């Protein structure tokens, strides 16, 4: 019989975090077994983990998972409960976890397309918040999107997942070390770009371009108009060419009160426009 394929280290960290949250919120509530089973099911779905799906669907030793959890919780210790439960699940269900990848000091290099994807998700959140509430999203909302993107990227880049989930940070407002997402909630976050800068600094990320990138011709531009330096206080129209200090040469695709959408070599971005000084 072939050896089971090891589950990723980052998935184990996500499982520990979910169980820890359930224990903190619900203590020894009678509903806890069902809540824990639900958390496992949610994680199996979002992580696309077939072994966890099988565990939730078929249970352990012929018993439903919820029934097994209820029996286990009677002997649960008062400390390190999430780690204890993961160990129980690991041995009873025959799960195998991969060892964490070595986190070599220095920057993590990720494709620039991942940056564009994260920024697009964050900008969509910003646009929705502006349209619905006429206000910027809360840091917690940015953190929710970032958590999903960390999970997505981590499935392809284990070293990134290890650093994002395992690294701890200090902050003047916190007692002891805190996680990346806890740190984000304490930072001055007011835009998609500020979240990206936070992520780059906290995890030492460098974005790499595929060969030939950066040479794409910006379409829809009006060549008779000069290239102007982008400024959030200036008004622009579709077809204007702008030079952004970070994104380089771009063309305005559309403009409306307070914001514009511009296309750069690595994708489109929403930028402020006509804002007061």
> What phi, psi does 244 have (nearest 5°)?
-95, 140
What phi, psi does 129 have (nearest 5°)? -65, -40
Same domain? For 270 and 197 the reply is: no
* Same domain membership, residue 179 and residue 228: no
Average pLDDT over residues 34-55: 87
Domain membership of residue 3 (yes or no) is: no
Q: Is 17 part of any domain?
A: yes
DSSP at 235: -
Domain range enclosing 188 = 103-208
Residues 75 and 147 reside in one and the same domain: no
Q: Mean pLDDT across the stretch 61-85? A: 88
* Domain final position from 93, 113, 148: 93
Which pLDDT belongs to residue 29? Answer: 81
On the 0-12 / 13-18 / 19+ scale of CB atoms within 10 A, 64 is middle
CA–CA gap between residue 165 and residue 154 (Å, rounded):
9
pTM of the model: 0.56
Number of compact structural domains in the chain: 3
Average pLDDT score over residue span 186-208: 86
**CA 40 centroid distance within chain:** 19
Instruction: Looking at the structure, tell me whether residues 110 and 200 fall in a common domain.
Output: yes
Last residue of a domain, one of 93, 112, 138: 93
Mean pLDDT of the chain: 83
Structure-derived torsion over alpha carbons of residues 53, 55, 56, 59, reported in degrees to the nearest 10: 150
Domain ends where: 40, 70, 93? Answer: 93
Instruction: Name which of 8, 17, 60 is nearest 39 in CA terms.
Output: 17
User: 213 or 60: whose pLDDT is higher?
Assistant: 60
* pLDDT given for residue 1 in this prediction: 45
């Amino acid at each position: 019989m072939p050896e089971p394929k090891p589950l990723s280290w980052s998935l184990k960290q996500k499982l520990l975090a979910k169980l820890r949250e359930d224990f903190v919120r619900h203590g020894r509530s009678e509903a806890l077994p069902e809540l824990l089973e639900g958390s496992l099911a949610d994680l199996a779905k979002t992580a696309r983990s077939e072994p966890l799906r099988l565990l939730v669907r078929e249970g352990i030793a012929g018993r439903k998972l919820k029934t097994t959890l209820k029996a286990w919780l009677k002997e649960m210790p008062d400390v390190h409960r999430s780690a204890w439960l993961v160990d129980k699940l690991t041995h009873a269900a025959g799960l195998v976890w991969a060892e964490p990848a070595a986190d070599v000091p220095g920057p993590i290099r990720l494709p620039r397309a991942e940056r564009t994807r994260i920024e697009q998700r964050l900008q969509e959140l910003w646009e929705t918040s502006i349209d619905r509430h006429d206000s910027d999203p809360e840091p917690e909302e940015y953190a929710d999107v970032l958590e999903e993107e960390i999970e997505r990227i981590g499935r392809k880049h284990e070293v990134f997942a290890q650093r994002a989930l395992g690294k701890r940070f200090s902050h003047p407002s916190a007692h002891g070390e805190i996680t990346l997402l806890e740190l984000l909630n304490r930072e001055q976050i007011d835009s998609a770009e500020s979240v990206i800068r936070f992520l780059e600094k906290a995890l030492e990320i460098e974005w790499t371009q595929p060969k030939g990138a950066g040479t794409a011709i910006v379409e829809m531009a009006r060549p008779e108009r000069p290239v102007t330096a982008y400024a959030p206080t200036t008004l622009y129209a579709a077809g204007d060419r702008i030079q952004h200090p970070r994104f380089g040469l771009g063309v305005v695709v559309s403009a409306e009160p307070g914001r514009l959408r511009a296309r750069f070599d690595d994708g489109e971005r929403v930028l402020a426009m006509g804002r007061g000084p």
